[in-house]
Structure 1
Amino acid sequence: MISAYTGTSVRRAEQPLLAAGQGAELMQRAAYGLYAATAAELAARRRIYGSRVVVLAGSGNNGADALYAASRLAARGAAVTALLTSQAAHSEALAAVRAEGGRVATLDDHNAPALVRAVLAADAVIDGVLGTGGRGGLRGPVQVLAEALNYRPPGSGPLVVACDLPSGVDADSGQAPGTCLHADLTVTFGAVKTGLLAGPGAAAAGRIRCIDIGLGPYLGAPEAFRLQDEDLPGLLPVPGPRDHKYSRGVLGIAAGSATYPGAALMATGAALATGAGMVRYLGPDSVARLVNLTHPEAVCSTGTVSLTHVQAWLAGPGAGEDEAQHRRAADAMSSGLPAVIDADAIGGVRPGLHAGVVLTPHAGELTALLRSLGEEADRTGIEADPVRWVRRAAELTGATVLLKGWATLVAAPTGELYSQAEATPWLATAGSGDTLSGILGALLATDRTPGAEREPGHYARLAAAAASLHGRAGVLASAAGPVEPSQLGPLIRSLVAEFTPRRNPKFK
């Protein structure tokens, strides 16, 4: 699992080492890590010797890290050009670049347009303009270069490597109030910054590599988490030899309507592919017939929540204006059972829920929910600072909140935060959310964690696991072209098989 910390926490953790006179050593550890990561990328793409490397170097330690890394690349035969974005560049790091034959120029308003072509022709650009203490977007001549790099055609131009974090991104929140420089790879130091996992910062970070520089004992409690491969097996369902369809986990689904029947089909298919022992579908007869034609395993009826025995609920996708489905969603929220509340049912959410209720809005739905709870929120603000708003929604409702986006954020009502970013933009399509809800509903229904151990963060972890599976399935599907959410079932099933041990009790 990746643990992330605010830039403020990381700077605080550095203080004991700086006070002990280890500042120069910390800088060289960071610079070497940046050099090694960039060198590996260049070697994989082409070669280091003869590669053209441009360094955008600001003042302070961030620019110094980038310059020292570039001096090592120059020593390996790379043609290095340092473009200084400040007159206060680190003198010793600058001298190291010159000593290895690197060229140095100062970027200004007059030469920026002419330098765009040279920068775009480079093999790699190292972004060392702003560090964790930077505030606001890029301005002036460096903004010109950043925009040229950001809007180059996909697959063209240089590899962009961010030093610690992309310049223009807030290390604490991921906000980017102006222009930021999008990276293909961010090499961050000491700890992953929260701003790399959320909002515009997550979209700008690209792949993330963290370099250990010795801050571990001083970091304190993490601000956010990201599940990795090794975390998924413990969160996915694995039936045992004494299980039956009821003990494996029964999920109740109240989704779809005469207007939107497809939501029920996709949610049911995803839940079955994830491993629910049984799906009990509640909804209109016309939709139930379609569900049974597509998924004959599902048990369908027009019954009520109170008379249907399940371990968890999923309600809301495709409910439209169907009053019976909205009533079932309200009953699911008040049932005391874990429940996924999605799409049209989110409008009925009120305070007083428990952490086992997981709300799954996109930014527009979260805007409407927050306004209904008296918050002055708008979609633009939520997308700019999702950490703040997803936590606020969880606090106000008492529920766990999963906010869909480039990086999907999950907040527990007690503040725990998860971020998953395995998805592909091809998943931004109708029906994708219904599939995610089905995965999550199955994980809630099959959860075997003892009740005493189901602290609020537990449900946030399950929601993060669902987002991870959904994103991975989308990536696999996108290999063949645009993603159709209705076709994700077999891929979800294969991922569950990949991440869960398939044990036969007769053999060891």
Structure 2
Amino acid sequence: MIPVYSLAQVRSVEAQEISRRSDTALMKQAASALAAEAVDMLGEQPVAPGTLVVGLIGPGNNGGDGLYALSQLEDQGYATAALQCASSVHSEALSVYESAGGRIQPLSKGTETLSKATLIIDALYGLGYRSGAELPLIPRNSRVLACDLPSGLDPETGVADDKVLLAERTVTFGAMKSGLLTGDGPLATGDITVVPLDFDFTGQAPQTNLVDKQAALELLDAHRSWRDAGRHKYQRGVLGLIAGSSLYPGAAQLTARAAVNCGIGLLRTHVPEDVAALLAVAVPETVPLDDDQIREALSSARRYVHGRGAKISAWAIGPGLDSRTPPTGAIAEVFASRQPAVIDASGLELVPAGPSEQPRVLTPHAKELRMLLRRAGVTVTIEEIAAAPIRWTRWAALAYNAVVLLKGPTNYIVAPDGSSLVVSHTAPQLATAGSGDVLTGILGYLLSDSSLTGVNGVQTVSNRRMMELAACAAVIHGEAGRAAAACGTVNASRLIELLPGVMKRFGF
């Protein structure tokens, strides 16, 4: 996992490192990483004719990073150009660049140069950006590599200027900054590479931790064994799904199809009669579950809470329910159990606040989080949630004694003890109808499989593991979104179709 620090923390550590190693040494080290990323983006060995890398050079050390990177690209045979975007630039770095054969010209005379750029390196402001600072106009659809962070993005709040230089990739130095993950950050930064530069963050507690694809693989592998290949369907996870209504018949189908395409051992479904026929056609692998069978499964759970021996090992509740006429009896009994559950959509209007023995993950978006907080006696606006997402998600986690996954461009996962994880830089196209139902199916499967939760019998799944698996589900969901976006537009059904291939990449 990647620790995430505040701007103040990064500035403090950076100042210590400059005093210890000099800013020139750090700039050259940062420039090497920036140049390497540029070469990777160009993907051209040997250098293709007509390739031109243009650096937008600002004042101070960020501009110095850019000039040193351009120098290294010149040494590797790339054609480069530097556009001076401030009254002065880093003199030593400029001297090195010119000695390497580079040329610099004022931005005002660089319109034609920008139009010919194969790749633009944004080395304007870095952490020094302040709202309202002048930003250049670049050609539409330019490929941009941001140095530390995109110019026009506030490094602390994640609020972006309307003219922000949208990056395809960002190379950020020292540590992951919270502003890259908050607000507009995920929409402006593209893919992020963190270059630690050997910064010493000893004594600095990270604000949270980012779960990327590699971290998700490690978390998923924590309890998996080669012996899992010999399990029968009941040992591979049995998920009980309570969902659907005549008003929203499609949501239950989406969640069910997602769980099945993830590879669940067995899916049991409790849906209204008029939805059951549709579900049987859409997902013939499912097995119906009536009220008496729910009670039987819950009775069995007193001896086998989870894993081997449990008739149902986890629950998914909420997608497509009509909150005006919910199956309250069955849901109330499940809520009183000690089996893990993911609760989404209309299920969030039914989950009780206060103490609970059930390990739960609530998956609201911002509007639903506001509703949950209001039910718990806390009044907050959508704007306040956007400005401090971890704070308000933590309030909900405490109020409902549950892990809460706040959905959005960045997913914030917070446990009742205040610990948190984030998953970011998924496809923005995931904001589409039914996408959350697919996430519920993915997480329901992960919670049902004892080889992933690491518990069996009367043990309950810890909130820490619930939080980790929620983050893994968000990463898988994001990977499916990216795969779908690479092929065209994104919809929930397309995500489900791609899930088997995505799951295979995660070791399933």
Q: Tell me how far 1:426 sits from its aligned partner.
A: 4.0
Give 1:181's aligned residue.
165
Give 1:506's aligned residue.
none
Q: Tell me how far 1:254 sits from its aligned partner.
A: 0.9
Aligned positions of 1:425-436 closer than 5 A? 425-436=428-439
Give 1:139's aligned residue.
133
Change in CA separation of 1:82 and 1:235 when aligned onto 2, cut-off 3 Å? same
Letter in 2 for 1:408: N
Change in CA separation of 1:83 and 1:328 when aligned onto 2, cut-off 3 Å? farther
Are the equivalent residues in 2 in contact too, given 1:54–1:80 (CA < 8 A)?
yes
* Secondary structure of 1:132's aligned partner: helix
The reply on whether 1:58 has 2:54 as its aligned counterpart is no
Aligned positions of 1:89-168 closer than 5 A? 89-105=89-105, 111=108, 118-134=113-129, 136-140=130-134, 142=135, 144-145=136-137, 148=138, 152=140, 156-157=141-142, 159-168=143-152
More off after superposition, 32-41 vs 345-354? 345-354
Aligned positions of 1:444-463 closer than 5 A? 444-447=447-450, 448-450=453-455, 454-463=461-470
Letter in 1 for 2:7: G
Give 2:314's aligned residue.
312
Aligned positions of 1:270-349 closer than 5 A? 270-303=258-291, 306-309=295-298, 310-325=312-327, 328-349=330-351
Change in CA separation of 1:74 and 1:89 when aligned onto 2, cut-off 3 Å? same
Q: Tell me how far 1:438 sits from its aligned partner.
A: 0.8
The CA deviation string for residues 168-222 of structure 1, in whole angstroms up to 9 with x for no partner, is 3343453436653211111112223333234311111112222241115647444
Give 2:479's aligned residue.
472
Aligned positions of 1:24-39 closer than 5 A? 24-39=24-39
CA distance in 2, matches of 1:455, 1:60: 48
More off after superposition, 340-349 vs 173-182? 173-182
Change in CA separation of 1:49 and 1:291 when aligned onto 2, cut-off 3 Å? closer
* Secondary structure of 2:14's aligned partner: helix
Give 1:79's aligned residue.
80
Letter in 2 for 1:467: A
* Secondary structure of 2:326's aligned partner: helix
The CA deviation string for residues 116-136 of structure 1, in whole angstroms up to 9 with x for no partner, is 5643442222222222354x4
Change in CA separation of 1:386 and 1:34 when aligned onto 2, cut-off 3 Å? same
Gaps of 5+ in 2: 299-311
Gaps of 5+ in 1: 502-508
Are the equivalent residues in 2 in contact too, given 1:254–1:283 (CA < 8 A)?
yes
Q: Tell me how far 1:439 sits from its aligned partner.
A: 0.9
CA distance in 2, matches of 1:203, 1:430: 20
* Secondary structure of 2:409's aligned partner: coil
Letter in 2 for 1:78: A
CA distance in 1, matches of 2:22, 2:485: 47
CA distance in 2, matches of 1:92, 1:453: 61
Q: Tell me how far 1:437 sits from its aligned partner.
A: 0.3
CA distance in 1, matches of 2:55, 2:408: 31
Are the equivalent residues in 1 in contact too, given 2:131–2:154 (CA < 8 A)?
no
TM-score by length of 1: 0.83
Superposed CA RMSD in Å reads 3.3
Are the equivalent residues in 2 in contact too, given 1:174–1:385 (CA < 8 A)?
no
TM-score by length of 2: 0.83
Change in CA separation of 1:225 and 1:319 when aligned onto 2, cut-off 3 Å? same
* Secondary structure of 1:199's aligned partner: coil
The reply on whether 1:225 has 2:210 as its aligned counterpart is yes
The reply on whether 1:213 has 2:214 as its aligned counterpart is no
Q: Tell me how far 1:338 sits from its aligned partner.
A: 1.5
Identity, % of aligned positions:
37
Give 2:303's aligned residue.
none
The reply on whether 1:250 has 2:238 as its aligned counterpart is yes
The reply on whether 1:12 has 2:17 as its aligned counterpart is no
More off after superposition, 362-371 vs 40-49? 40-49
Change in CA separation of 1:472 and 1:41 when aligned onto 2, cut-off 3 Å? closer
The reply on whether 1:267 has 2:255 as its aligned counterpart is yes
Are the equivalent residues in 2 in contact too, given 1:165–1:171 (CA < 8 A)?
yes
Give 1:202's aligned residue.
186
Q: Tell me how far 1:313 sits from its aligned partner.
A: 1.4
* Secondary structure of 1:209's aligned partner: strand
Which of 375, 383, 390 is the matching residue for 2:393? 390
CA distance in 1, matches of 2:413, 2:168: 25
Letter in 2 for 1:164: D
Q: Tell me how far 1:286 sits from its aligned partner.
A: 1.6
The CA deviation string for residues 273-317 of structure 1, in whole angstroms up to 9 with x for no partner, is 223332222221121232233333323244175554322211111
Q: Tell me how far 1:358 sits from its aligned partner.
A: 0.9
Q: Tell me how far 1:444 sits from its aligned partner.
A: 0.9
Change in CA separation of 1:211 and 1:477 when aligned onto 2, cut-off 3 Å? closer
The reply on whether 1:190 has 2:177 as its aligned counterpart is no
Are the equivalent residues in 2 in contact too, given 1:165–1:205 (CA < 8 A)?
yes
Are the equivalent residues in 2 in contact too, given 1:187–1:210 (CA < 8 A)?
yes
